[in-house]
Amino acid sequence: MAPTSISIDIYSDVVCPWCYVGKRRLERALSELPTVSTQVTWRPFQLNPTMPAEGMDRSEYLEGKFGSLDAFRRLEEQVTAAGVSEGIPFAFEKILTTPNTFMAHRLLWYAAQQGRQDPVMDALFRGYFEQGADLGLPSVLTSLAESAGLDAARFLATDEGAADVKAEEAAGHRLGIRAVPYFVLNDRYGISGAQPVDVFVGTIEKIHSQQAEGLLSRK
């Protein structure tokens, strides 16, 4: 990483709609800062760590979590509206299963090793929220990874990366993260939630200015 590059670690889950919205808002912010160098890394955070390996029926899961489907529908309207503003066509009605996401996080860990993490994350978000793909199935993850230019079939047949993913999750919990998305910039600054673009822009500009001043002071 260049001395003036800003690291952005994003703790998220692939079944978190606000994480998808947050990704798009961060991308818009970075597009407004073309001279700022950044390195984005996606970190694991399971919203449902005790989810059965085979997942759960979506309706059953939502009723258990929110008390009723009507309660969820009100929240769904909010995120759908946010999605429209970010060009995300959420299709919640297509999602039949809420998956265990640990394997998906292992895939993202592997994608990072291969330099394909961001496109794979995009593929997982699109697959789940726009197509209703079951992200708990190795065959589905393999197909989505391939669409993002990553051959992951052999990797997913192993348990490689499991310990690393658990260690990264534990690091997030030690930081006190309880909800996602959560953005950690330069291991120091935190942004919680899918904040408006100007919040990202302002924070990144502040860090960039501080870095520039630090470089000048050392000359």
Q: 69-99 pLDDT, tens per residue?
A: 888 888 899 999 999 999 999 999 999 999 9
Question: Would you list the DSSP string of 81-140?
Answer: HHHHHTT----GGG--EE---HHHHHHHHHHHHTT-HHHHHHHHHHHHHHH---TT-HHH
With 60 as the cut, is the pLDDT of residue 188 above it? yes
**Would you say domain 6-217 falls under CATH 3.40.50.150?**
no
| pLDDT at site 72 | 86
| pLDDT at site 215 | 58
Would you kindly state where each structural domain of the chain is located, as residue ranges? Answer: 6-217
pLDDT in tens, 147-159: 999 999 999 999 9
Mean pLDDT rounded to a whole number for the chain: 94
- Calculate helix-pair angle for 69-85, 17-31, nearest 10 degrees: 10
Question: What is d(CA 198, CA 48) in angstroms, rounded to the nearest whole number?
Answer: 31
Amino acid found at 31: S
With 90 as the cut, is the pLDDT of residue 16 above it? yes
Q: Are 44 and 168 contacting, i.e. CB atoms less than 8 angstroms apart?
A: yes
Rounded to a whole number of angstroms, the CA Rg of the chain reads: 18
Percent of residues, the chain, with pLDDT higher than 90: 88
Beta strand 189-192 with 56-57: parallel, antiparallel or unpaired?
Answer: unpaired
User: Which run of H or E residues covers position 173?
Assistant: helix 162-174
DSSP 8-state assignment for residue 51: -
With 50 as the cut, is the pLDDT of residue 1 above it? no
Arithmetic mean of pLDDT, 105-116: 98
pTM of this structure: 0.94
| pLDDT at site 26 | 98
Q: Are 120 and 150 contacting, i.e. CB atoms less than 8 angstroms apart?
A: yes
Q: Are 183 and 9 contacting, i.e. CB atoms less than 8 angstroms apart?
A: yes
pLDDT in tens, 113-125: 999 999 999 999 9
Name the β-bridge partners of 83: none
